[in-house]
Amino acid sequence: MESRSALTVEAATDSTDPMRRGLRSLAELPIGFSARIVAVNGASHIARRLMEMGFVPGAPVSVVRQAPFGDPLEVRVRSCHLAVRRAEARTIVVGDPQSFIG
Amino acid sequence: MSTTFDSPPLTNDADLRTKRRQLTIAIAGNPNAGKTSLFNALTGLRQKVANYPGVTVERKEGIWALEGGRTARLIDLPGLYSLDASSIDERIARDVLMGRARGLPAPDAIIAVVDATNLARNLYLITQLLEYEPPVVIALTMVDMAERRGIDIDVQRLRDLLGVPVVPVVAPQRRGLNELSRAVSEAARHGATKRVQWRLSEQAEREIAALCGDGEAGPAARRRVMEELYGEELPPDQNRRALILAARQRLQAHDPNWWQEPLLARYRFIERIIAEVERTKEAKRDLTMAIDSVITHRFFGPLILAAIMLLVFQTIFAWARVPMDLIDGAFGALAQAVHAYLPPGLFTDLLADGIVAGVGSVLVFLPQITLLFLFITLLEDSGYMARAAFIMDRLMRGVGLHGKAFVPLLSSFACAIPGIMATRTIENQKDRLATILIAPFMSCSARLPVYTLMIAAFFSDRRIFGFLSVGALLIMAMYLLGITVAVCVAWVLKRTILRGPTPPLVMELPPYRLPNPLTILQTIWSRAWLFVRRAGTVILAISIILWALANFPRVAPEGDRAQTVADRSAVESEQLKHSFAGRLGHLIEPVIAPLGFDWQMGIGLISSFAARETLVSTLSIVYNVGREADSSSPSLIEAIRKARRPDGRPAWTPLTAISMMVFFVLACQCMSTVAVVRRETNSWRWPIFMVLYMTALAYAAAFITYQGGRLLGFG
């Protein structure tokens, strides 16, 4: 719990340089890249829904594509494909982009 | 069920106790986990659909013949991802599980449907179900698909780690159903399995212990406290509420994401299980990814969506006409037969013109509803619907609606009734209500006879620039008017009475699947039957009332009926003028005069509140051309053109016709729609609101059209 809170605070205060220490929001993860979820912030009713759908710290996540009109994003968490709007994706903090999934 | 297995000997005491009553089994699981096809396979056609009292959530239940000759009442809970009670579905499911749902005993056991291709996410609901009393039996679905994807699941190990029976099933092929029956009977006999508890951080445990109090400990008390502390709803009691809020504040000060603790504890448990039971061989590039690269393609995606919608539209709009005309014709013939074979009189009139015509006016919508639900079920079960919502969400959000509102609104161009029923796929209640409330603005097929009549009477061969038909332009303008008003109303509703935080869009894009024909047939059957039964009773009642309004008080004594067709229509015309409906026409004349309408049109307006196309038949009665006239009938068009007001001016002008069309675009004149909205929202509040605001809008728009037109020198 302690370490997760620490990361949350850092991610929140790091707005001037989101790339520092590799932390960024899911909305900033380039299409085709994957990363691990570090924290889910934001209002509890939204964050709860996201977590129930599999967006939990530690889970691998990748951005598959964006919808034809730019929003929402198609995101893959574990083996599950989900549509999330950019607004929700911004509340999910992820670590370093790790690999290219093609 | 199969009889090849011997039923276990009934010697056990507990068994004798449970044997006397029917078992109640609830079936729960994530959406898209194969819950519906399992439910259908277990119950066959022995199922019924109802609403939970007071809410719009549907309750489906059926009878399941267990092995050994016993039967169980099988309750299909709404598809859910969790039991945290943040949506109505989840609250209902939790109430059922705890035996708090009205009219339902606590279930003797729960069948939890788990999708093997998505084990981790599906197990989340399981970890919550295990916190409750009823014993859980897991039905592991999609095992074949998991195998194909290279996912290997150690079922025995999963069983041991969770401490509950796990039965792999393939519902369409009926594999594993006997084992499931045995496991459920066994579980129901032995009662509660051990309940899971989560050890939380020291601070949280301290707060929970304090809230539990000294007297009560044990799992039930702990769970209640957890619900109060971490749930979305606060307890009703003032003192308790204050205690809970204080505890939340202390936890909040310690960790801003304190409320995530139970969630994370459950996921840690799941993580451990997955590590032990799931082995994934090299993942093959799956078909869904390949299909999606076309279906949700930046350019082809919207194009394919448009093509599919065009097909749906065409089917409901044009091809459904054939069976609809057949039904219409059959009921017309039946009404004539009643007139021909029964002695003339009030009872015969009621039977033919009230009851038969009323029932006919319900059943005539069946082909459209059946066809639309065929498409919707196909699109939903194949996985396409989620993609349509994915593509359209950005545009729909512009007016404050959800991407899923797109399909119901589009189908409302054929008929608002199936459209409104299709809004069930929208989980957020406010979004769903907003969609229902604007669906009737989409110009449905019942408005076409009215448009056609008005255009045939006043704009038939007018053209602009020599080739553009004024009629076609007018019809297009009416469709655009409906859409524009709908968009504005949605925008206003979402900022006023239906205001709320924008619900997040977190929507599963399930793998594409071949829909199961049996499931589709059952869905269509239950939808069609529901429509006939529920909406039918209301529509029938209103038809009889309308018939009475148009036939009382009587002018001529009964039996003194004219024999020739001309005489008969003269009698009918006279009757209508002196009836309550006729008097009502005179009564509302001052109100509708500013729209350009006289009392005869007023009768048409009143009767068209039953169904829009009634305007045509009412006008033909009023203008004494016989009720058999239709919208292209020359005699009716002649009569409309020749109709005069008391001062000798023509009753109708082109401006009146346009004003009438505008009124019909916006007014809520369809009792079937009202009945369906009543059913779908489970209250009279929303249908009444809908009729009032739509009619007010229609009045205002027709007023502006007529008075504005006169100011500009038309009419």
Q: Do A45 and B232 touch (CB under 8 A)?
A: yes
Tens digit of pLDDT for each residue in B229-246?
Answer: 888 778 888 888 898 999
**CA-based nearest distance B375→chain A, Å:** 23
Fold of B13-190: Rossmann fold (3.40.50)
**For B429-441, what is the mean pLDDT?**
91
Residue A41 contacts B, CB cutoff 8 Å: yes
Tens digit of pLDDT for each residue in B113-145?
Answer: 999 988 989 999 999 888 888 899 999 998 888
B58 is in an annotated binding site: yes
Tens digit of pLDDT for each residue in A24-55?
Answer: 999 999 998 999 999 998 888 788 889 988 99
State the pLDDT at residue B3: 33
Query: What pLDDT band is residue B179 in, cutting at 50, 70 and 90?
Result: very high
State the pLDDT at residue B126: 92
Beta strands B109-115; B136-141: pairing state = parallel
The two three-digit tokens of residue B658, written as one number: 């346009």
Q: What share of chain A is helix, strand, coil (3-state, %, to 5)?
A: 30, 30, 40
CB nearest to B391's CB, from A4, A44, A68:
A68
Comparing alpha-carbon positions, the chain B residue that sits nearest to A5 is B255
- Please state the separation of Cα A29 from the chain's center in Å: 8
Query: What pLDDT band is residue A8 in, cutting at 50, 70 and 90?
Result: very low
Burial class of A49 by CB neighbour count within 10 A (0 to 12, 13 to 18, 19+): buried
State the pLDDT at residue B195: 67
Residues 9-38 of A with CB under 8 A from B: none
How far CA B298 is from CA of A27, A84, B302, B310, B410, in Å, comes to 18, 17, 7, 19, 21
Q: Do A68 and B298 touch (CB under 8 A)?
A: yes
State the pLDDT at residue B86: 65
**For A11-29, what is the mean pLDDT?**
65
State the pLDDT at residue B6: 36
* pLDDT value at B578 more than 60: yes
**CA-based nearest distance B75→chain A, Å:** 24
- Closest by CA to B155, choosing from B139, B179, B170, is B139
Domain interval for residue A22:
2-100
**For B566-595, what is the mean pLDDT?**
82
**For B545-563, what is the mean pLDDT?**
66
**CA-based nearest distance A61→chain B, Å:** 14
Q: What are phi and psi of B31, to 5 degrees?
A: -60, 150
The two three-digit tokens of residue B479, written as one number: 């469709």
Mean pLDDT (chain B) is 82
State the pLDDT at residue B407: 77
**CA-based nearest distance B267→chain A, Å:** 8
**For B377-399, what is the mean pLDDT?**
87
Q: Do A69 and B120 touch (CB under 8 A)?
A: no
Asked if B427 and A53 touch (Cβ cutoff 8 Å), the reply is: no
CATH number of domain containing A22: 2.30.30.90
State the pLDDT at residue A62: 93
* pLDDT value at B623 more than 70: yes
Tens digit of pLDDT for each residue in B26-47?
Answer: 999 998 888 888 998 898 766 6
How far CA A78 is from CA of A63, B274, B275, in Å, comes to 12, 12, 13
Residue scoring higher pLDDT (B471 or B85): B471
Most confident residue range from B89-93, B168-172, B531-535, B544-548: B168-172
State the pLDDT at residue B45: 66
- Chain region(s) in chain B for CATH 3.40.50.300: 13-190
Residue scoring higher pLDDT (B89 or B598): B598
State the pLDDT at residue B568: 65
Tens digit of pLDDT for each residue in B95-121?
Answer: 888 788 777 888 999 999 999 988 989
Q: Do A69 and B395 touch (CB under 8 A)?
A: yes
Tens digit of pLDDT for each residue in B522-544?
Answer: 778 877 887 777 566 766 776 77
Residue A1 contacts B, CB cutoff 8 Å: yes
Residue scoring higher pLDDT (B437 or B582): B437
Spatial distance between the Cα atoms of A37 and A95, rounded to a whole number of angstroms: 6
In this prediction, what percent of chain B has a pLDDT beyond 90? Answer: 23
Spatial distance between the Cα atoms of B11 and B78, rounded to a whole number of angstroms: 36
CA angle B157, B158, B164 (to 5 degrees): 115
**For B347-373, what is the mean pLDDT?**
78
Q: Among A55, A69, A92, which would you mutate to test the B interface (most chain B Cβ atoms within 10 Å of its Cβ)? A: A69
CB nearest to B121's CB, from A49, A53, A72:
A53
The two three-digit tokens of residue A66, written as one number: 């964006």
Query: What pLDDT band is residue B481 in, cutting at 50, 70 and 90?
Result: very high
CB atoms within 10 A of CB A9: 12
Say how many CB pairs under 8 Å bridge A and B: 129
Query: What pLDDT band is residue B157 in, cutting at 50, 70 and 90?
Result: very high
Which of these ranges, A69-73, B424-428, B545-549, B627-631, has the smallest mean pLDDT? Answer: B627-631
Q: Among B94, B121, B198, B203, which would you mutate to test the A interface (most chain A Cβ atoms within 10 Å of its Cβ)? A: B121
Q: What is the pTM of this model?
A: 0.78
Spatial distance between the Cα atoms of B568 and B625, rounded to a whole number of angstroms: 10
* pLDDT value at B322 more than 80: yes
Contacts of B391 in chain A (CB under 8 A): 67-69
Tell me whether 0.85 is exceeded by the ipTM: no
Comparing alpha-carbon positions, the chain A residue that sits nearest to B202 is A1
Contacts of A64 in chain B (CB under 8 A): 289, 292
* pLDDT value at B551 more than 90: no
* pLDDT value at B56 more than 80: no
State the pLDDT at residue B9: 40
B517 is in an annotated binding site: no
State the pLDDT at residue B534: 59
Beta bridge partner(s), residue B280: B151
**CA-based nearest distance B304→chain A, Å:** 12
State the pLDDT at residue A16: 45
Tens digit of pLDDT for each residue in B702-713?
Answer: 999 999 999 988
Contacts of A101 in chain B (CB under 8 A): none
Spatial distance between the Cα atoms of B707 and B594, rounded to a whole number of angstroms: 7
CB nearest to A81's CB, from B264, B293, B509:
B509
Count how many domains chain A has. Answer: 1
**CA-based nearest distance A25→chain B, Å:** 16
State the pLDDT at residue B402: 80
Query: What pLDDT band is residue A4 in, cutting at 50, 70 and 90?
Result: very low
Tens digit of pLDDT for each residue in A58-96?
Answer: 899 999 999 999 889 999 998 889 999 999 999 999 998
Spatial distance between the Cα atoms of A12 and B105, rounded to a whole number of angstroms: 48
